[in-house]
Amino acid sequence: MGVPSTFLPAILIISCFMCFCPDLANAATGVTRHYKFNIRLQNVTRLCNTKSIITVNGKFPGPRIIAREGDRLVIKVVNHVPNNISIHWHGIRQLRSGWADGPAYITQCPIQTGQSYVYNFTIIGQTGTLWYHAHVSWIRATLYGPIIILPRLNTSYPFVKPYKEVPIIFGEWWKADTEAVINQALQTGAGPNNSDAYTINGLPGPLYNCSSPKETFRLNVKPGKTYLLRIINAALNDELFFKITNHTFTVVDADATYLKPFETDTIYITPGQTSNVLLKTKNITSSARFLMAARPYSTAAAGTFDNTTVVGVLEYNNHNMQFSNASIKGLPLPPLPAINATSYVANWTNKFRGLQPSKVPQTVDNRYFFTVGLGSDPCPKNQTCQGPNGTKFSASVNNISFTLPTTALLQARFFGQTNKVFATNFPAFPLSQFNYTGTPPNNTRVTHGTKVVVLPYNATVELVMQGTSILGAENHPLHLHGFNFYVVGQGTGNFNSATDPANFNLVDPVERNTVGVPAGGWVAIRFRADNPGVWFMHCHIEIHLSWGLRMAWAVMDGKLPNQKLPPPPSDLPKC
């Protein structure tokens, strides 16, 4: 009382130093949360097979990161394994913190054995579920975990408050060492060996041979409550359908942006995508069990992907029900769409609408058209190759299979060594045009290079990504680092620049970081290049990434101090 109002800020600042006033601190600037990630080997047994896997702190899947919007995360990663490691915080915008983004040889050199690196970044304007994963070779097969971003203090969800929140992470499990799997594939030119199982929260479930009862994910629920499932597809190579017998979901979020809610009984999710969905449990008073199941969507040839099914169990009022594989296998499987249900996928993508007033750019400074798809490389002399017609599989964007440099692009750019490391002439349009989704051309060869697109700060970008039918039309989930983009249009066949833009949604498009380029179709996205740095864009199907379906955008600094990328931290790893 009686304090002149001009003194108030000073008093608040002083009192914050002297006392514990978390509300003020949290609401204004967020708190700093420290995590330590010891990357180490851990023996894990699945399907009667024990193997040593790369983990965070011995945990599989990795530990949860929990923060509120506005918080700073400081994560010290220490590498105790023989492999090079880097970690990507998938979907975090990394505004002016590109040094913490993580893709090896793009924003940083990997962390070598015995070395460490502190990832330091702030979560700005994002609430929902994201995830982290290793971003070098195929290490992410076992190194992944959820990032849970709660709303700011005193802010609530734009939907009913859930009774409980549960991460549901899909993964893919190989009995063999996954580094051997990818090395062999790259050597022979063939597709990689299929995984042996899909997993829910690391557990394959009873439909696989030699699965112990402990290897089934069980979700115990109370009747009549709302559960928030935080769904993450961390599988390496497969898009998935997910369903629970006799239940429906309300989809409220995609890639940590709010949606206009919609109901569904079957979720479709690509590698890299995340989604929050509400599950309202039934009013059942007795004990009851329902199966949940996930299996792939794929248009690839039979045998070239893992077509198995992971199941888990939704359990009501489970006080002391017996649990055996036989009892679980007797439950009805939820009827999932056909494995090649491309029309289900197209309808699904059309349901997504952003909730908040959209910031989608209404005008566009720079337009791009990229073909994405598979291709081939000739077999080296003195070798026999096992890819298509004795060649090696490859993959490309605008027919360029991206060669990873031996030093990080962002480092090269920051230290003015661009010319030695990458070229800036990535083509805005395909250099040779053909009927992208028609009969494939005879020549399926790709070219190679380390090329980027340079964007001025704050440019508005429209990118049409066109799938090709070369060596099979497949859905390619394209992931952009450093930004969310708006999905303004999609279609089947070839994009028509004369007629298709008239149907773009510039009102309430979904905002996300990973979108499927439909098999034999196209997708159009827009974003604003408001984040200086070098940003990777790639197919999140790991084998396509390995084959070169990747490129990068180099976004220049703006004029103002707060539009520039700060210098790298002193512990940035060296190559």
Binding site for ligand C2O (CB under 6 A): 88, 90, 103, 133, 135, 272, 479, 481, 536, 538, 540
Q: What's the rounded Cα separation, in Å, for the pair 360 and 510?
A: 9
The smaller minimum CB distance to ligand C2O, of residues 477 and 518, is found at: 477
The smaller minimum CB distance to ligand C2O, of residues 136 and 310, is found at: 136
CA distances to 46, 392, 470, 547 from 380, in Å: 38, 9, 21, 16
Smallest distance from ligand C2O to CB 540, Å: 6
Instruction: Please check whether residue 371 is in contact with residue 175, taking contact to mean a CB–CB distance below 8 angstroms.
Output: no
The two tokens of residue 356 are 């908040």
Q: What's the rounded Cα separation, in Å, for the pair 393 and 152?
A: 47
Query: For residues 69-94, b (16+ Cβ closer than 10 Å) or e, as one string?
Result: bbbbbebebbbebebbbbbbbbbbbb
Smallest distance from ligand C2O to CB 355, Å: 24
Smallest distance from ligand C2O to CB 338, Å: 27
Smallest distance from ligand C2O to CB 145, Å: 12
Q: What's the rounded Cα separation, in Å, for the pair 172 and 263?
A: 27
Q: What's the rounded Cα separation, in Å, for the pair 276 and 219?
A: 16
The smaller minimum CB distance to ligand C2O, of residues 313 and 480, is found at: 480
The smaller minimum CB distance to ligand C2O, of residues 477 and 491, is found at: 477
Which residue has tokens 């199907």? 541
The smaller minimum CB distance to ligand C2O, of residues 105 and 495, is found at: 105
Smallest distance from ligand C2O to CB 530, Å: 19
Instruction: Please check whether residue 380 is in contact with residue 523, taking contact to mean a CB–CB distance below 8 angstroms.
Output: no
Omega of the bond prior to 61 within 30 degrees of 0, cis?
A: yes
3-state secondary structure of 486: strand
The smaller minimum CB distance to ligand C2O, of residues 526 and 538, is found at: 538
Instruction: Please check whether residue 437 is in contact with residue 520, taking contact to mean a CB–CB distance below 8 angstroms.
Output: yes
Task: Please identify the residue of the shown chain whose CB is closest to the bound ligand C2O.
Answer: 90
The smaller minimum CB distance to ligand C2O, of residues 88 and 243, is found at: 88
Smallest distance from ligand C2O to CB 432, Å: 28
The smaller minimum CB distance to ligand C2O, of residues 135 and 451, is found at: 135
Smallest distance from ligand C2O to CB 136, Å: 10
65-68 and 144-150: which strand pairing?
parallel
Smallest distance from ligand C2O to CB 88, Å: 5
Burial class (CB in 10 A: 0-12, 13-18, 19+), 161: exposed
